[in-house]
Amino acid sequence: MASIKAKKAEKNKAKVKKQADKFVVRDPSSLKAVYAELEAANFSGKQEAALKAIFAALVD
Amino acid sequence: MDFLHASDPVTGEFFGFSVFPDSPWQAAHEAEGHTVIQSPIKPEPRTHFNYLGGVLTPKIEVLLVTDKAEIAADGVAEAVVAVAVAGKEKPANIGLLVAGTVETLNLTNGHGVLAPITAETPCSVEVAILDTITYWGGPVGIEAVEHG
């Protein structure tokens, strides 16, 4: 049980990347991040793949 | 009065002290391969000491300070974290954890400033010391909140 809780906590942690000499942090499970992924997918025509990836990350 | 000190002989981590010899506390530590020794010293707080090199040593204090505890989650607002390492012998760099990611910060005379932190979504960002056996201090938190 402890390892499952730890895994869930890890999943919900903010993700950080370094770009242009700045740390850019985002919570991939936040609605804002989900909307951004969907918007990007609409432009690339990859809506289905994006939706699958988003919901897999949210429910796991 | 003597105290029992428990430490990891490999990492130098200090786990704490007891006043009771031959106790379950001592047995548990020895079962883990930890070193338990007698000492007249009562090291408090426990979190400020280590046993690096097999010797009870005060940890080096590190000060982490942010200029903003709260920023807008718009990918533009920035918070900056400054680092200062105490003591006479200043390290050339120090390892930090930025939202769980390891970052090595170069220091000048024990001082340094992390690259600015921005957030694209509401979230909590913590900057902490990576090596908590050698150093103590922090962490510092920045809250990214919905703007507008």
Which residue is associated with the tokens 């850019």? A24
Q: Which residues of A touch B116 (CB under 8 A)?
A: 21-23
Q: Which of B114, B120, B124 sits opposite A24 (nearest CB)?
A: B120
Q: Which residue does chain B place closest to A30, by CA atoms?
A: B121
Q: Report the Cα–Cα distance between both ends of chain B, in Å, rounded.
A: 61
Burial class (CB in 10 A: 0-12, 13-18, 19+), A23: buried
Q: Which residue does chain A place closest to B147, by CA atoms?
A: A32
DSSP letter at B108? B
Strands B35-39 and B57-58: unpaired
pLDDT in tens, A1-56: 444 444 444 444 688 999 889 999 998 777 667 777 777 777 666 777 777 777 77
Q: Is the pLDDT of residue B38 over 90?
A: yes
pLDDT in tens, B94-139: 999 999 999 999 999 999 999 999 999 999 999 999 999 999 998 9
B43 closest CA partner among B59, B30, B25: B59
Cβ contact (<8 Å) for B122 and A32? yes
Burial class (CB in 10 A: 0-12, 13-18, 19+), B131: middle
Helix, strand and coil in chain B, % to nearest 5: 10, 45, 45
Q: What is the pTM of this model?
A: 0.79
